[in-house]
Amino acid sequence: MKTSIFTYTSKGLPVPAYEFHNGGPEVLILGGVHGDEVEGVIAAQELLKHFMTANPYKLNITLVPQFNLEGVIFKTRGNGNGVDLNRNLPTKDWSPEVKTPRYHPGPFAGSENENKGLIDYLEKKAPIFVLSLHSWHPILNVNGDCHKVAAILAEHTGYKIDDDIGYPTPGCLGTFSGLERHLPTLTYEIERGLSAEKIIEIHVPAILESLKALET
Ligand SMILES: [Zn+2]
C-alpha cells in the first residue's frame, strides 16, 4: 500500500488516498463526497480494511474513503465552504443557480480544492472505473459503460440500475467523468440509515465481488 495526499480541503486539511497497485487498470473509489452520508464512508473504510490485508485483483486501486473530509468531520453535505462538491465540477451543464443552500454549486465551476485534486487525478490516471459511495434511496446510478459491475452489484443487493437519478444534477461527477470524459462512473446510493453491520454484511461483499468484472 502506498499512501498519498489526494488533495487538500478548503481549509487546508490533507485528504489521504490509499493506493493498492497490482499491475492492472486504474480504478478510483470515493467515499464521503457528501460528508453527512456516513453509510458510504463506512463502506469505503471497510474496503480499506480489506485491501490492507490483500488486493486480490489485477487492478491498481486508488481509494479515498473521506473525499470531503471537512464535511465528514462536521457531518455536512457540503465542504468547509458550504459547497456541494457533487454540484461543483466543471461540466457543460454546471449552473451558478443556488436552488437551496444544501446544493450550493460554488462561486464558479471547479472552484473547490477537493475537486481540483479530483480533476487532476482523473486527467492523469484516466481510471477505467470510478465508484462513488453515497446514501439516499437505494439506486445504482450508472454513467458510461459500467453495466457489468452494476449487474453484479444489483444481483447482490437487489438495487435497481438506472442511468438517470430522476432529477437534474448539474456539476456532478457522473456527468463530468462518466459522460463527458468517458470514464465509466457508478454512483452507489446505499439506503440512508442502514446499519454499519448491514453495510458490511451486504454492500462491501457486493463491491468486492463486482470489482472482479473489471479485471478482464
Ligand atoms: Zn450524496
Q: How far apart are CA 140 and CA 191, in angstroms?
A: 11
pLDDT given at position 216: 66
132 CA distance to ligand 1 middle (Å): 9
Element (H, E) at 88: none
Q: Ligand 1 centre and the CA of 151: distance in Å?
A: 21
Distance 23 CA to ligand 1 centre (A): 31
Binned at pLDDT 50, 70 and 90, residue 54 comes out as confident
Please state, in angstroms and as integers, the Cα–Cα distance from residue 155 to each residue in 147, 160, 190, 200, 205, following that order: 12, 9, 14, 16, 12
Q: Could you read off the pLDDT of 113-123 as tens digits, one per residue?
A: 999 999 999 99
Output Rg (C-alpha) for the chain, integer angstroms. Answer: 16
**Grid coordinates 454546471 are at which residue?**
94
How remote is the CA of residue 187 from the centroid of ligand 1, in Å? 8
Region of poorest pLDDT, from 83-87, 99-103, 136-140, 153-157: 99-103
Give the model's confidence band at 165: pLDDT under 50 very low, under 70 low, under 90 confident, else very high: confident
Mean pLDDT, residues 35-49 taken together: 98
Q: Which fold has domain 2-214?
A: Aminopeptidase (3.40.630)
99 pLDDT band, cuts 50/70/90, is confident
Mean pLDDT across the chain = 97
Map out the domains of the chain as residue ranges. Answer: 2-214
Distance 212 CA to ligand 1 centre (A): 25
